[in-house]
Structure 1
């Protein structure tokens, strides 16, 4: 038999190399996603220890959860412009370095290190929040639902583990809670190492020299932003106050903590099912799916209002709705955008407003609880928020945002060495 032509062999090698490169990119994206919540969700279970050791007032301790959300909201609009200038891969690599430095600084035994590190961590995560949907839209347009679900699942799963192991690590490891917060530097360093090949790879020139303005004038973009903001508000209110709601209705503190873990676990498992449902649904129309998932959240809040003693049931129901809505909110950035550049702009807009809303949500709920001396008024607020999210989903679930494009950047400033 004659050997296969050289062109055929070269084509096979190119295909194999391309597949290996795509597999490495997917793995890198998932490891990056694993870093986007773990260093934050481990703080809550340790707040009592942090307050006692550093002598922090409750309001100051609360900033440890609020500062990252403020960083998300304030920095997100800047990310598309920075990505257009430096390249998405390089910017994401830099963000991982900032995140790693933040974890290291927070490991220092002082209040200044704790807060400074938290700000750096929030800045690094803000960049990753915006860029991951854009990179998935650019490199895997046919698999947006699957990969969005995958990275949301990894992000949520590692976050749940981080909240679960924080106290045991603080009790057994040298350094106590400092080590419990600082141990996540290992995962951050691994993500940097795995992302280095992407920083060295040739940049997509057609995408790199373009940048889109944030679509502030688009009604559809505002609907996507509202959907993102309302579901983020619900998540951070739940992780902040749900255990206290249960405790005030007769559940022990330990059981309330496990119920919060159950909420997160159900949300992670639900996010795994969303890609299959998205494939079943119409390609460009997710209105019914988004409305049903939002309505499930509404049922969960209404159940808490009517019968808060059924803690196990409502933890599961809220997890079902919350996990699905998170994946949909992230998927909308790519599904509603024309291309990767506009996906980044839409992501920046939605996450800036969304996380600012999420930052004030737990504060407002806490104030309502104080003023009303109970949980009925705060839960009613969440019922209204879920109802509004259900209405918004009928707009956010279909269409394409028409974002205006800014002038191209100089090629030497936006392209990496070839």
Structure 2
């Protein structure tokens, strides 16, 4: 039941976000709102993630991680229903609630299964990251068919994912017993260790660069598709990248935990990014396919690396929760700023190749902060 609960929680952490993008045209037409107001839905989710990631560890400490995760999924389900019941106001309020619910569960899942299943950290991390990635693709692909082919409309399509959330809540009930992840002695030790701000900050920056490269690496697929369209070809590279990324998300965690240090793996993934992004400059269909394959597998691997290192580099459960909150908060801030910076650059210079240079610079940061984060030490 515990493992089934973790599986169900993981598949609910991205469906409510991924299902919105394809339905934006329907939402705009029905509510009569501008592209800017519709696009703000995505920005609102990222800002909510960034802010409430910092509060999630305190909520987990007060309620216990099991109860806090239940609360997160409950808020997520309420938000998913609320955002389809009215106009633009309820849409925004519901979206904010979904963001709060997601981030509470997302931040606390790592310290939760580290405490409850310490011998299966690799497997649980693989399940968490793979479930998130897989159902993000599923939700994105099924949103429009649910709305159009089944006649549910955008409201019914968005609301339909609440079924999985209710199922997750029911299965999670046994994990709500009053049982905090850590013991009082561990909390006192963790409090002293939390004074080492530099260690946390370094790992937070590394984790943020991972999340930044992961999210905005998907923009590389748009760059590749744009070049294909210019040559009369068309292909949905994003779907392919999302699918191929599952290889990295599932297999990397179990490999990482068997290593004394993870720096070499981080370096290999970073070099792979450099090769993949650089290859996109070349006007060749086969090379573009190989490049997107490398980037896709790397993006899945880097997401799993981030989650695995949070467990491996933290000594106590409270530290794990704090580190998870800091990493995800910093990461979502960069995730929100990235498209804005790139969009302004595109308006100023009208050159899509700036995107690739931008991602290459972020990859250098990924390697620079990743090598020390991969060393065998505890915060």
- Per the normalisation by structure 1, the TM-score is 0.83
TM-fit CA distance, 1:235: 2.7
1:17 matched residue in structure 2: none
1:250 matched residue in structure 2: 228
Q: Give the conservation status (yes or no) of the 8 Å contact 1:109–1:178.
A: no
1:115-143 CA distance string (max 9 Å, x none): 11111110001101110111122112222
In 2, the alpha carbon distance for the partners of 1:397 and 1:224 equals 9
Equivalent residue for 1:165, pick from 130, 137, 142? 142
Q: Give the conservation status (yes or no) of the 8 Å contact 2:64–2:179.
A: no
Instruction: Name the CA shift for 1:207/1:268 in 2 (closer, same or farther; >3 Å).
Output: farther
Equivalent residue for 1:272, pick from 250, 255, 260? 250
1:291 matched residue in structure 2: 267
Unaligned stretches of 5+ in structure 2? none
2:238 matched residue in structure 1: 260
In 1, the alpha carbon distance for the partners of 2:178 and 2:201 equals 35
Equivalent residue for 1:210, pick from 180, 187, 210? 187
In 1, the alpha carbon distance for the partners of 2:97 and 2:217 equals 25
RMSD (Å), alpha carbons: 2.4
Give the number of aligned pairs: 375
TM-fit CA distance, 1:280: 4.8
1:203-235 CA distance string (max 9 Å, x none): 557269937569474333223212221121123
1:149-174 CA distance string (max 9 Å, x none): 12111111111111111121121223
Kindly report which structure 2 residues correspond to 1:188-199, keeping only aligned pairs within 5 A, or say none.
Answer: 188-199=165-176
Instruction: Name the CA shift for 1:204/1:135 in 2 (closer, same or farther; >3 Å).
Output: closer
Quick check: 1:349 aligned with 2:326? yes
| Larger of the two Rg values belongs to structure | 1
Kindly report which structure 2 residues correspond to 1:98-247, keeping only aligned pairs within 5 A, or say none.
Answer: 98-200=75-177, 202-203=179-180, 206=183, 210=187, 212=190, 215=194, 217-239=196-218, 241-247=219-225
In 2, the alpha carbon distance for the partners of 1:331 and 1:296 equals 20
Unaligned stretches of 5+ in structure 1? 1-23, 403-418
Moved more, 130-139 or 108-117: 108-117
Moved more, 183-192 or 53-62: 53-62
Instruction: Name the CA shift for 1:216/1:106 in 2 (closer, same or farther; >3 Å).
Output: farther
1:98-131 CA distance string (max 9 Å, x none): 0000000122242222211111110001101110
Instruction: Name the CA shift for 1:204/1:350 in 2 (closer, same or farther; >3 Å).
Output: closer
Q: Give the conservation status (yes or no) of the 8 Å contact 1:305–1:380.
A: no
1:385 matched residue in structure 2: 362
Instruction: Name the CA shift for 1:223/1:33 in 2 (closer, same or farther; >3 Å).
Output: same
Q: Give the conservation status (yes or no) of the 8 Å contact 1:221–1:401.
A: no
1:63 matched residue in structure 2: 40
TM-fit CA distance, 1:259: 1.4
1:231-264 CA distance string (max 9 Å, x none): 211232244x3454234313399944x3111101
In 1, the alpha carbon distance for the partners of 2:233 and 2:149 equals 19
In 1, the alpha carbon distance for the partners of 2:21 and 2:80 equals 16
Equivalent residue for 2:308, pick from 331, 338, 348? 331
In 2, the alpha carbon distance for the partners of 1:304 and 1:111 equals 40
2:291 matched residue in structure 1: 314
1:336-380 CA distance string (max 9 Å, x none): 000211101111111111111111111111211121102111220
Q: Secondary structure at the match of 1:316?
A: helix
Instruction: Name the CA shift for 1:291/1:216 in 2 (closer, same or farther; >3 Å).
Output: farther
Q: Secondary structure at the match of 1:248?
A: helix
2:49 matched residue in structure 1: 72
Equivalent residue for 2:259, pick from 281, 304, 307? 281
